[in-house]
Structure 1
Amino acid sequence: MSGRRPRERPAGGEDLTGVEWTVDVVAVAHGGHCIARHEGQVVFVRHALPGERVVARVTEGRVGDRFVRADAVEVVEASTHRVEPPCRYAAERVCGGCDFQHASLPHQRELKGAVVREQFSRLAGLEVDVEVRAVPGDVDGLRWRTRVEFAVDRSGRAGLRGHRSRRIVPVDDCLIATEAVVASGVLDTTWQDCTAVDVIDAAHPDEPVLVPLPHAAEGGGVVGERASDGSWVGEYVVAARGFWQVHPGAASTFLSRVVALLEPTAGDRVIDLYAGAGLFTMRLGELVLPGGFVLGVEGDTRAVSNGRLNTEDLDDVEWRANRVDRELASLVAQGVTADLVVLDPPRTGAGRDVIGHLADLGPRRVVYVACDPAALARDVRSALDCGFRLAHLEAWDAFPMTHHVECIAVLEQSG
């Protein structure tokens, strides 16, 4: 009997974990850390800010590695933007949920804008000017997360994980979670035989839904959500553990911006890719009447079922439960074209194949909603290669206190 030999890993140099260096922090980097250097080696430092001098303790890395990871354990020279973290778990550096509680909220947005600009310069070859805007609905960057998955330790207590760690930190509060999530009792309950508990503070029902994992039947059922576009209000059925924007103001903000940027008119043929349960599909289905058509494409069959319920009164809306790349390839092979396309892919982005197929549809405008600026920049580069131009870019702080930022890009045919 033969088997595969395990791949040997290079021995590398001396383990640097625990070593402390005094370093000057020069810039912010994508991923919630900042950049410093020690004797030519790049150091990614958490809990630091650009312009600071800090004592950095190495958490991962060896001599000779391209970079090491570290944590700022002492601030020698502080930035004027440094503040006391409002959450003691962030101050103690035990919870990995927040990246920037030590920075003022306006400066957090400046840092995120710098990351977006750097990613577009490096990955798309474009110099962009973008300001990260606040999303209505949080309180000074806190109490905004309506959906939280808490990990459960061996004793049955719910908590949050440390940064890049399987370690579970028991907490008695999470300041970025909504008060309803915390008041649900998830942190006061002993959860036997569970690995995690998902808590959903949806628009309906009035009380948060708790979904113990992995035992929840059918993913925890469905909840009701809503989004608005001016005076228009849409009610949505969504799987309890399905995708929905976690910031209370995000769904309405992004819906309104997508509609404004797409500029749909009666008779337009629209394709909504990675459509989820139909946040954009429902509104667009109304706006292209009479004579228009909207196709929602989504790989999650349960989301498609809910999307069909959400748009059941719209005869001009059709759904396809399929992988986006496969469905687009099929549509292109059939000679299908579209006037407008909206896409909201997962964090990994759409990818070169999807962008290529999208270009073959010949839309006059594409609106791309992205939760990762690096993935967006890579896809924009692919779009440029396919004959598009970047007509507009904006960014929104839908995840305060974290490094995450939501971007909306508009692509148009360059010819």
Structure 2
Amino acid sequence: MLEFTVGPVAHGGHCVGRVGDDRADDPTGRVVFVRHALPGERVRAVVTEDAGGSYCRADAVAVLEASPDRVEPPCSWAGPGGCGGCDFQHATPEAQRRLKTAVLREQLARLAAPAAPLSTVPFDAVEVEELPGGPLGWRTRVRLAVDDAGVPGLRAHRSHDVCEIGDCPLVPGGALAEVLERRFRPGSEVDVTVHDDGAARVGSGATAHAAGRTWELSAGTFWQVHPALPDTLAAVVGEWADVPAGGVAWDLYGGVGLLASVLAGQAGPDGTVLVVESAPSAVADGAAALADLPQVEFVQGRAEREIARLRPDPDVVVTDPPRTGLGRAAVRALTGRGPQRVVHVACDPAALGRDLALFAEYGYRVAGLRAFDAFPMTHHLEAVALLERVG
């Protein structure tokens, strides 16, 4: 058992503390990544992982001096040793956004430093913004794990262990409870979708509405889990992309073409919008949804491989890569095609910081930066950056 005062929040849903051999608050002591704590609190913690190096991981199991931001978690399964899906249920929603803002600013300051001199947006001014709908009941899709007895649940933090739960307050209206009573093939995973009627269905498609359009989604086709995020992203892209009439836009990692629909409206019938997406179901669903927009063409393939083959060169590019970000090869290839603007969507602060540094290296400056609390109670966020070519 460790006792120490908790330090700042860190990327990954934990805070950082230090403990020494002889006294609890030795600033030269060993680093502890502690969950279920808040900055400034004094806690007792149980070590959960220790490989014997310069740090260990721990869960706070007793709070000796509580932060004024601490609240009672709304979910009884979210505490130490329980479900690993949430990181910050013990903090007020306002405090959660402050923690995410601190992490985002720290990652940008550390990783995107090469982009800072060119940026017209100070990185230390960005704030994680609240989305409509509140901190609970927002998650419309859930992937459950199934244990060896066929019981569905959610995994523990950094573990393959399946935690049996009775419900999840992030899912609307207790819709998940009925699914959790069922039994499934041991060792499998179960995709659950909550429909507009409030019913949770397993392995089901869905109807989605955003940007003034309707998408009929096949089972397994990606769509943002927070109901307010698609329209939010569409609005930001609509504001920043500024595709010229008759111009060319690319939508890389474009899914079903949500953002492409906005680009198509700007480019007009004489323009060209190319959507690159690797998932066949997303390509099929997107092509059906945007069949009335002949200027939109779907290209099935991996975006990082297709960049060199796409024609014609783009005026504007929208990118929404996986959590790992674009990386050097994709940024180099993309900027080599000379778009005037890139609207870059990122769901990981560290990947965002690395990619912004790469864009700066290849002659682009940050002209806009916003972030959204699209995953309340977790450490995750969604960010959008506008990159403009310099010169």
Fold equivalence (TM over 0.5): yes
* Matching residue of 2:10: 29
Equivalent position SS for 2:206: strand
Could you tell me which amino acid in structure 2 is paired with residue 43 of structure 1? Answer: V
SS of the residue aligned with 2:370? strand
Cα distance, 1:92–1:381 mapped onto 2, change above 3 Å:
closer
Q: Matches of 2:267 and 2:174 in 1, distance apart? A: 38
| 1:51, distance to aligned residue in structure 2 (A) | 1.1
| Residue 283 of structure 2 is aligned to residue 289 of structure 1 | no
User: What is the aligned counterpart of 2:162 among 168, 171, 183?
Assistant: 168
Q: Which residue identity lines up with residue 327 of structure 2 in the other structure?
A: G
Rounded Cα–Cα distance in structure 2 between residues aligned with 1:202 and 1:350? 32
Deviation sequence 1:296-344 (CA, Å, 0-9, x none): 011112211222112111111111111111111223xx6x421111011
Q: Which SS does the other structure have where 1:81 is aligned?
A: coil
1:78-102 C-alpha deviation (Å, 9 max, x unpaired): 1111111111111454111100001
Residue in 1 that maps onto 2:150: 156
Query: Contact 2:246/2:270 (CA < 8 Å) preserved in 1?
Result: yes
Partners of 2:187 and 2:32 lie apart in 1 by 37
Instruction: Determine the structure 1 residue equivalent to 2:130.
Output: 134
Q: How far apart, CA to CA, are the structure 1 residues paired with 2:225 and 2:201?
A: 14
Report the TM-score, using the length of structure 1 for normalisation: 0.87
**What is residue 312 of structure 1 aligned with on the other side?**
291
Contact map agreement 1:180 1:208 (CA 8 A) in 2:
no
Deviations 1:34-80 (A, max 9, x none): 011112211100011111111121111143x1321111111121111
Picking from 193, 199, 202, the partner of 1:200 is: 193
Q: Which residue of 2 aligns with 1:177?
A: 171
The equivalent of 1:186 in structure 2 is: 179
Tell me the distance in 1 between the aligned counterparts of 2:282 and 2:126: 33
* Paired positions, count: 375
CA contact (8 A) 2:175 2:198 kept: no
Residue identity matched to 2:225: V
Q: Which shows bigger deviation, 380-389 or 70-79?
A: 70-79
Deviation for aligned residue 1:240 = 2.0
* CA distance in 2 between partners of 1:103 and 1:280 (Å): 33
Q: Which residue of 2 aligns with 1:298?
A: 277
Which of 220, 224, 229 aligns to 2:207? It is 224
Shift of 1:202: 3.8
Corresponding residue for 1:16? none
Pairing 1:375-390 to 2, within 5 Å after superposition: 375-390=351-366
- 1:329 aligns to what SS in structure 2? coil
The counterpart of 1:53, out of the listed 24, 42, 60, is 42
User: How is 1:14-413 mapped onto 2 (pairs within 5 angstroms)?
Assistant: 20-39=1-20, 40-63=29-52, 65-91=53-79, 93-125=81-113, 126=116, 128=123, 129-137=125-133, 139=134, 141-179=135-173, 181-182=175-176, 185-193=178-186, 195-203=188-196, 207-211=199-203, 222-228=205-211, 233-331=212-310, 336-413=312-389
Root-mean-square deviation (Å): 1.7
C-alpha separation in 2, matches of 1:196 and 1:319? 30
Q: How far, CA to CA, are the matches of 2:51 and 2:3 in structure 1?
A: 17
Q: Decide whether the 8 Å contact of 2:129 with 2:371 is kept in 1.
A: yes
Matching residue of 1:13: none
Of structures 1 and 2, the one scoring higher in RCO (CA 8 A, sep 6+) is 2
SS of the residue corresponding to residue 285 of structure 2 reads helix
- Whole-angstrom CA distance in 1 between matches of 2:175 and 2:357: 40
Greater mean alpha carbon deviation, residues 193-202 or residues 301-310: 193-202
Q: CA deviation at 1:357?
A: 1.3
2 CA distance for matches of 1:392 and 1:285?
22
Query: SS state of the match for residue 72, structure 1?
Result: strand
Letter in 1 for 2:57: R
Which whole-Å CA distance do the structure 1 matches of 2:213 and 2:284 have between them?
A: 17
Partner of 2:179: helix, strand, or coil?
coil
Unaligned runs of at least 5 residues, structure 1: 1-19, 212-219
**What's the CA shift string for 1:108-153, capped at 9, x where partnerless?**
000000010011111111461211111113x3x0011000011122
Give the 3-state SS of the residue equivalent to 1:409 in structure 2: strand
- Asked whether the equivalents of residues 146 and 181 of structure 1 are also in contact (C-alpha less than 8 Å), the reply is no
Deviation at 1:223, TM superposition (A): 2.5
User: Which residues of structure 2 form unaligned runs of 5+?
Assistant: 21-28, 117-121
Deviation for aligned residue 1:193: 4.9
Asked if the contact 1:180/1:201 (under 8 Å) is kept, the reply is no
Distance between the aligned counterparts of 1:286 and 1:316, measured in 2? 10
Residue 14 of structure 1: aligned partner: none
Tell me the CA shift for residue 206 of structure 1. 6.9
Give percent identity, aligned residues only: 47
- What does the per-residue CA deviation read over 1:128-181, in whole Å, with 9 as the maximum and x for residues that have no partner? 1211111113x3x00110000111222222111111111111111101112263
The one-letter amino acid of 2:207's match is G
The question of whether the paired residues in 1 share the 8 Å contact of 2:269 and 2:294 is answered with: no
Q: CA separation in 1, counterparts of 2:217 and 2:349? A: 26
Structure-1 separation of matches of 2:291 and 2:235:
22
Q: Are 2:167 and 2:174, in contact at CA under 8 Å, matched by a contact in 1?
A: no
TM-score w.r.t. structure 2 length? 0.92
Cα pair 2:172 2:198 within 8 Å, conserved: no
Q: Which amino acid aligns with 1:197?
A: V
